[in-house]
């Protein structure tokens, strides 16, 4: 599965860039996100130390809010386009990815802890994204109005799969166990989502004019801020839990549910802002490929 992921993801990225016509599939994104959510939520979670998951996720939230505040200061200080702040903020606030538990296990961490972090992180995002991102984008509406709009968009994508998964687990555990066996195929849904996301981004860039975006500085700035945040989030995640759970913490902060926030940013901030989390998809997968290669090298060269 590890080797297959290493092949499929670069292919999905390349095809997405080269086939902008596939942007017509973008209305499928809520369904794809919901499918990934359900397959992850339905997995049976073993008991663990009470409160530890919450501690990791609260740290991640605090780091995210500090990064948003720092970004706001930098944008104001250097008079940068507002899109830089919005693009960076949506990345920082983004919850952990569906693939984070599988990736944590692959890197030698605890899949069950990463799964708990995923659950709590996505539930927190139901409220943190509408409030913070709503505040940043709501120039033409009140905070409560824009926040409620974003909340009503984001919460069904998370709460409906969660309710369905918990209901299945509570009343039909055998069916839930069968459904959980398909969790490993989340990778394929995620790969297809990346293909659609990049096809949509490729189409939008062509429509807006690649050279216009480049010469205006917006495209390089979006790519740059997403790269900086990717490195920072993985490094900070590793550092704050370096003595206990560095792998799970790094995945919780660094491996983002980009499909969700690209969709949200496109709806409420426009295609230019959506370029930041789209670029993050590329950087994130380069980091994951590097980490996977390191693990593979260690396994093949034991001391």
* Segment 144-183, tens digit of pLDDT: 888 888 888 888 888 888 889 889 988 988 998 898 888 7
300 found inside a domain: no
* Segment 4-36, tens digit of pLDDT: 666 787 888 899 999 999 999 998 988 888 888
Which residue has better confidence, 52 or 72?
A: 72
Distance CA(29)–CA(33), nearest Å, equals 6
So what's the pLDDT on residue 2? 57
So what's the pLDDT on residue 76? 93
So what's the pLDDT on residue 144? 82
| Residue 104 reports pLDDT greater than 90 | no
Which is it for the CA torsion 108, 302, 2, 238, positive or negative?
A: positive
Q: What is the mean pLDDT of residues 216-224?
A: 93
* Segment 47-56, tens digit of pLDDT: 655 566 777 8
Residue 298 — pLDDT band, cuts 50, 70, 90? low
So what's the pLDDT on residue 1? 56
301 found inside a domain: no
Give me the number of domains the chain comprises.
1
Q: What is the mean pLDDT of residues 237-264?
A: 88
- Mean pLDDT over all residues of the chain? 85
Q: Residue 244: count other Cβ atoms within 10 Å of its Cβ.
A: 10
CATH number for position 99: 1.20.1530.20
Contacts of 116 (CB under 8 A, 6+ apart): 45, 48, 53
Say what the pTM is.
0.86
Residue 252 — pLDDT band, cuts 50, 70, 90? confident
Contacts of 108 (CB under 8 A, 6+ apart): 247, 295
Q: Supply the range of the domain harboring residue 218.
A: 2-293
303 found inside a domain: no
């Amino acid at each position: 599965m590890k080797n297959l992921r290493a092949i499929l993801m670069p292919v999905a990225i390349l095809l997405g860039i080269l086939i902008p016509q596939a942007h017509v599939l973008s209305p499928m994104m809520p369904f794809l996100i919901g499918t990934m959510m359900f397959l992850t939520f339905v997995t049976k979670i073993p008991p663990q130390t009470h409160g530890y998951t919450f501690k990791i996720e609260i740290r991640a939230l605090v780091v995210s809010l500090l990064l948003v505040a720092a970004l706001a200061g930098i944008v104001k200080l250097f008079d940068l386009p507002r899109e830089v702040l919005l693009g960076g903020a949506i990345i920082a606030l983004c919850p952990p990815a569906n693939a984070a538990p599988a990736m944590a296990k692959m890197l030698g961490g605890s899949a069950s802890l990463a799964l708990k972090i995923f659950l709590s992180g996505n539930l927190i995002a139901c409220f943190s994204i509408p409030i913070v991102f709503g505040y940043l984008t709501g120039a033409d509406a009140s905070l409560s109005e824009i926040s409620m709009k974003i909340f009503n968009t984001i919460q069904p994508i998370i709460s409906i799969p969660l309710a369905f998964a918990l209901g299945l687990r509570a009343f039909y555990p055998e069916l839930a166990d069968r459904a959980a066996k398909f969790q490993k195929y989340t990778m394929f849904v995620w790969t297809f989502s990346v293909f659609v996301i990049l096809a949509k981004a490729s189409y939008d860039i062509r429509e807006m004019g690649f050279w216009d975006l480049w010469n205006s500085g917006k495209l390089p700035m979006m790519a740059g801020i997403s790269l900086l945040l990717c490195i920072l989030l993985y490094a900070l995640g590793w550092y704050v839990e370096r003595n206990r759970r560095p792998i799970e913490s790094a995945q919780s902060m660094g491996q983002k549910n980009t499909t969700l926030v690209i969709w949200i940013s496109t709806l409420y901030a426009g295609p230019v802002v959506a370029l930041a989390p789209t670029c993050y998809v590329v950087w994130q997968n380069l980091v994951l490929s590097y980490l996977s290669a390191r693990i593979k090298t260690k396994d093949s060269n034991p001391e």
